[in-house]
Amino acid sequence: MKIIRDAFTFDDVLLVPKVSGVNSRYMVDTSTNLTDNIKLNIPIISSNMDTVTEHIMAIAMSKAGGVGIIHRFNSIENEVLEVTKVKREQNIIIEKPYTVSKDTTLEKLRELSFEKKVKSFPVVENKKLVGIVTRRDFEFEENPNLKIEDIMTKDVITGYTKISLEQAKTIMNKNKIEKLPLIDKEGRLTGMVTSRDVKLLEGYSKASKDKNGRLIVGGSIGIGSDYMERAKALINAEADFIVVDVANGYLDKTADVVRKIKKLGVDVIAGNVATRSGVLNLKRAGADCIKIGIGPGGACLTRPVAGVGYPQLSAILDCSNSGVRIMADGGISKSADFSKAIAAGADTVMVGGLLAGTDESPGVIITKENVNYKFYRGMASINAFSDKASKTDESVDLEGYTPEGTETLIQYKGSVTKIVNNLVGGLRSAMTYLNAKNIAEFRKNAEFVLLTDSGKRESKYK
């Protein structure tokens, strides 16, 4: 047995200020890369936990400039549905609009409208656009057997496939229309632009978007029996990246799954590990970004149960400069922790407990003794582990399971926007103190000073 070295976490240190020419926090650039192919405007990721991220949270995070990862404690179909809701929230071009035929009845149209939450449908025959039916066409019609052909607009104003946002706006403004179907030279439907999406795109200039202007979102898989089926379904739903979500990223099987998923041609994030050797192992397997953190999460019991882990700040420092993007996962309880994680070398930071209890997190508000709460749990808690058996194809052994996650009520916090703004505001402030206009300069200029117990009290850390 040997003691390798001293290791530290966020409250053990402070960042040392520098003489700075960065005179305002609004002068700094907080953009970063999640992977080499995916850029974000803020380095915040909402955790793939079932009490943190489903489509509502993922939409909010991407609009803010970060990204959300849909959790895998669900059926494949439901995880795909969550991803699809994010991808359809905001587009320059809706590449696969929902369509109807001329023979569709009004009754069927209304069922489809309710199911898909869509009010306008291009009418297609043999892949060619022959009309469009909108809410105004059918809202007051009473005959359920009426055919779409009898109420649709036949002289449709259209654009061509490779239309720009400005061109689409010009056509819609000139013709006073809200939906612009796109066609190719043969008249085949290739997409649609809506005025709603144009307004959303203009209102969220800092949003994380793919090449088609849609919000970015990730899907997660495990290493159980359904991982390949789940990954292929998520890729087909156009998830922008896949997270191989395993508490123990050191397992040989974790690296094996990463190698196999990379062959599908998608960016892969893998973890969790907490040492340089763990990072290099997953890097060799092909991971584009690696999650750092064994046991620092507020809902994680790995350290008290298994006695395994690594203080999070030292883990980030040890794993940085490994030639691969890293994501700090866990241990963030305030904006200062977030800033220190970035300064230590994390490209992005995953946040769970701080975002739980918000309007955008899954679950209902519970009132207890006149205080509002929402439920929050670690994904290695006993009930989360049990739910996995009923919602996925992964086999579980409850009898032999020792939970490494906790469950609790977390006080209701309101909108997640306030939490995100607070984290980013703290980072911007730290960057001005360190004379850093961007994340690269922030890391380069960062120096940490170790705190004594008195220093921690003075810093309000105790």
CATH at residue 215: 3.20.20.70
End-of-domain residue from the set 156, 182, 203: 203
User: Across the chain, which distance is largest between two alpha carbons, in Å?
Assistant: 82
pLDDT at position 116: 83
* 450 lies in the same domain as 365: yes
pLDDT at position 397: 59
Q: Between these two residues, 397 and 246, which has the higher pLDDT value? A: 246
pLDDT at position 202: 67
pLDDT at position 403: 63
Instruction: Give CA–CA dist 120/113, Å, rounded.
Output: 8
**Position 159 in a domain:** yes
Confidence of residue 398 (pLDDT cuts 50, 70, 90): low
User: Tens of pLDDT along 15-69?
Assistant: 999 999 999 999 999 999 999 999 999 999 999 999 999 999 999 999 999 999 9
Q: What are phi and psi of 145, to 5 degrees?
A: -95, 0
Q: Which residues are bridge partners to 175 per DSSP?
A: none
The DSSP code for 108 is H
Instruction: Give CA–CA dist 245/352, Å, rounded.
Output: 14
Q: What are phi and psi of 154, to 5 degrees?
A: -95, -35
**Position 99 in a domain:** no
* 269 lies in the same domain as 350: yes
Phi-psi region of 291 (alpha: psi -120 to 50; beta: other; left: phi over 0): beta
Task: Tell me what the mean pLDDT of segment 382-395 comes to.
Answer: 60
**Position 101 in a domain:** no
pLDDT at position 400: 60
pLDDT at position 435: 97
Task: Tell me what the mean pLDDT of segment 327-346 comes to.
Answer: 97
User: Tens of pLDDT along 272-324?
Assistant: 999 999 999 999 999 999 999 998 887 788 887 888 989 999 999 999 999 99
Instruction: Give CA–CA dist 380/454, Å, rounded.
Output: 36
**Position 4 in a domain:** no
* 275 lies in the same domain as 258: yes
Q: Between these two residues, 213 and 68, which has the higher pLDDT value? A: 68
* 198 lies in the same domain as 213: no
- Cis peptide bond N-terminal to 281, omega within 30: no
CATH label of the domain that carries residue 174: 3.10.580.10
Looking at the structure of the chain, the number of domains it has is 2
* 116 lies in the same domain as 235: no
Determine whether 300 is an active site residue. yes
pLDDT at position 5: 78
Does the pLDDT of residue 270 top 60, yes or no? yes
233-to-53, 80, 227 alpha-carbon distances in Å: 19, 7, 10
* 278 lies in the same domain as 299: yes
* 67 lies in the same domain as 121: no
pLDDT at position 10: 96
pTM for the full predicted model: 0.81
From the candidates 300, 328, 349, 431, give the one annotated as an active-site residue.
Answer: 300
* 139 lies in the same domain as 157: yes
**Position 98 in a domain:** no
Question: Would you call 139 exposed, middle or buried from its count of C-beta atoms within 10 A (0-12, 13-18, 19+)?
Answer: exposed
Domain carrying residue 119: 106-203
Instruction: Give CA–CA dist 305/310, Å, rounded.
Output: 14
**Position 60 in a domain:** yes
Question: Would you call 399 exposed, middle or buried from its count of C-beta atoms within 10 A (0-12, 13-18, 19+)?
Answer: exposed
End-of-domain residue from the set 152, 178, 203: 203
The DSSP code for 288 is S
Q: Are 137 and 156 in contact (CB under 8 A)?
A: no
Helices (H), 129-194: 135-138, 165-175
* 279 lies in the same domain as 358: yes
Instruction: Give CA–CA dist 321/286, Å, rounded.
Output: 16
Does the pLDDT of residue 205 top 80, yes or no? no
End-of-domain residue from the set 186, 203, 220: 203
* 385 lies in the same domain as 415: yes
**Position 300 in a domain:** yes
Q: What are phi and psi of 317, to 5 degrees?
A: -60, -45
* 224 lies in the same domain as 291: yes
Confidence of residue 269 (pLDDT cuts 50, 70, 90): very high
% of the chain surpassing 90 pLDDT: 58
In one-letter notation, the amino acid at residue 177 is: I
Record the tokens describing residue 143, joined without a space. 């005959």
* 36 lies in the same domain as 162: no
Q: Between these two residues, 343 and 298, which has the higher pLDDT value? A: 343
Record the tokens describing residue 341, joined without a space. 């994680």
Does the pLDDT of residue 203 top 80, yes or no? no
- Residue 207 CB partners (closer than 8 Å, separation 6+): 41, 62, 63, 64, 65, 90, 201, 215
**Position 75 in a domain:** yes
Per-chain mean pLDDT for the chain:
89
pLDDT at position 114: 84
User: Tens of pLDDT along 166-198?
Assistant: 788 889 888 888 889 998 888 889 888 888 777
Closest of 4, 58, 57, 132 to residue 359, by C-alpha: 57
